[in-house]
Amino acid sequence: MRSSNLAASSTGVPISRQSLEASSPRYGEKAIFVFLAACAALSVGVTTAIIISLILPTIDFFGQVSFERFFLDTVWAPRQATGRFGVWPVVVGTLNIVIWALAVAIPVGLASAIYLSEYAGPRVRKVVKPTLEVLAGIPTVAIGLFAFFALRPAAEIALPFLDWSSIFSVGVAGVAVGLMIVPLVASISDDAMRAVPRALREGAYGLGANKLKVSLRVVFPAAMSGIIASIVLAGSRAVGETMVVYIAAGRTPNLTFDPTESVQTMTAYIAGTATGDIPTGTLDYDTIFAVGSLLFVMTLGLNILAIRLVRRFREAYE
């Protein structure tokens, strides 16, 4: 065998050796690769398009309205003849919503998360967690109508000593947004707490701690970055929420922290102004984009913070 091989090569007869290269150029494979890469690149295109579509009219806007008139004034009346462009009333309106929403979502969401991760048995968990996810899936229009037609009258009955003269209420709208983001806080915090290794819990039990101490003093601090991430993400969701606040918090720009008052949030301003067919290039049109830019920057900042925090808890325990 060996000798014949040698003989063959010495006589110069070429050995047919099969190439490891593909037998055809496989253009189909390459085309598919290009298509898939284009799909992934499209997402970057979307972000770029968002930024471009926000920035260009915003530059136009600040060409007509100075920074001082936007950031240092406290009256928001952009559609009047003598337009006032102080953005604070709509920013504070949004802040109001975020405060009330987090006041509901943090205790309820964290209680649900601790219960699901530390106390609930697998059977209870298997029912409760998907049910909470259903709450997250309810369309915001439905939650808005519920807040406006059901929660607002209920709040009037429950708290008769407050002044309920306005049919809109930023407090009620904020609570409704809070209920909507409870599943977000619960589910991310639950994930973070379940990522805490068992050994930490067992060590604490071994030292004589009870379940309460293990949950609050060991698991909770160990999962802190994930828990904060969930709250930041929920805050960002509350900032960007539109329909609930548009329906239940009203449309009057109002620099107030009174929960029974009507306010206008940034999102409600955009939704309310852009529904009409306003011509491109007018100041009205540009104002929408200026407020939109501010909204985009705020939520982007919160999201980046949350992504970093989530990455930290993943790195720590996985």
When binding is defined by CB under 8 A, the residue of 9, 211, 217, 221 that contacts other proteins is 211
Helix (H, G, I), strand (E, B) or coil at 76: strand
Residue 109 near residue 186, CB atoms below 8 Å: yes
What is the C-alpha to C-alpha distance for residues 227 and 187, in angstroms, rounded to an integer? 10
241 makes contact with other proteins (CB under 8 A): yes
What is the C-alpha to C-alpha distance for residues 318 and 316, in angstroms, rounded to an integer? 6
Between residues 130 and 206, which has the closer beta carbon with respect to other proteins?
130
What is the C-alpha to C-alpha distance for residues 307 and 301, in angstroms, rounded to an integer? 10
**Shortest reach from residue 294's CB to other proteins, in Å:** 11
**Shortest reach from residue 85's CB to other proteins, in Å:** 18
Helical H runs in the chain?
Answer: 2-10, 27-64, 67-71, 88-114, 122-137, 140-146, 152-158, 170-194, 198-206, 211-213, 220-222, 224-240, 243-248, 266-274, 283-317
Site residue total, other proteins (CB under 8 A)? 92
Query: Looking at 5-13, 104-112, 190-198, 222-230, which segment touches other proteins (CB under 8 A)?
Result: 104-112
**Shortest reach from residue 203's CB to other proteins, in Å:** 19
107 makes contact with other proteins (CB under 8 A): yes
When binding is defined by CB under 8 A, the residue of 6, 7, 8, 50 that contacts other proteins is 50
Between residues 223 and 302, which has the closer beta carbon with respect to other proteins?
302
Amino acid at 56: L
37 makes contact with other proteins (CB under 8 A): yes
Site for other proteins in 64-83 (CB under 8 A): none
Site for other proteins in 124-143 (CB under 8 A): 128, 130-135, 137-143
